[in-house]
Amino acid sequence: MLRFRDRGGGGVIRLVFLTAIVASLLNSTTATAQFGRASPLISVRDRVRVGVRNDTSRSSFTGSAQYIRGTVQAIAPDTLYLDLPSGVGTFAIPRVAIRGVELSTGTPSRAVSALDFGSAGGFLGGLFLPSFMARPEHRFGSRGGAVAASAGIGFAVGALVGGLFPRERWRVAWIPE
């Protein structure tokens, strides 16, 4: 069992840590990379984000990439054909110019997005906000009270941002041979 000693606020710190641990366990999107699931292969009609090289070097370790979002129209042995959302038409990308491909997993609901952003905001708020306050133990009664209040503020701000602006999620994928 974890034991923390803090004068006057030990129970609050345990509650903050317990909340952070439960929130991170509920947030399964960040843990999928750790459990070794294989990356999917893209297919026709998938929404993808493709990283295309900006330079002409052949090295995959140098240079920057520009990301293009679109729907896969066709997959050829040496070219990937994307239908761009702006109505431009089909865009051909040679495989040698592709730095990486990510498959869209969709945009989460506002509630799920609020929970994801809120848990991150609560953790970061509880971790960093008390250090920016002058003598937080006097303002909140104890250091643990300051951490709990800061975590609550961080969670509220993160949940508000996540609920108002849910972001599309992407997963690393491969182009079939």
Domains and CATH numbers, the chain: 10-29+108-168 (no CATH), 47-107 (2.30.30.520)
Q: What is the pLDDT of residues 111-152, one digit of tens each?
A: 999 999 999 999 998 888 888 878 777 777 887 888 888 899
Residue 25's contacts (CB-CB under 8 Å, 6 or more residues apart) are none
Query: Residue 69 carries which DSSP code?
Result: E
Q: What are the beta bridge partners of residue 104? A: 170
Q: How do residues 96-118 score in pLDDT, each as one tens digit?
A: 999 999 999 999 999 999 999 99
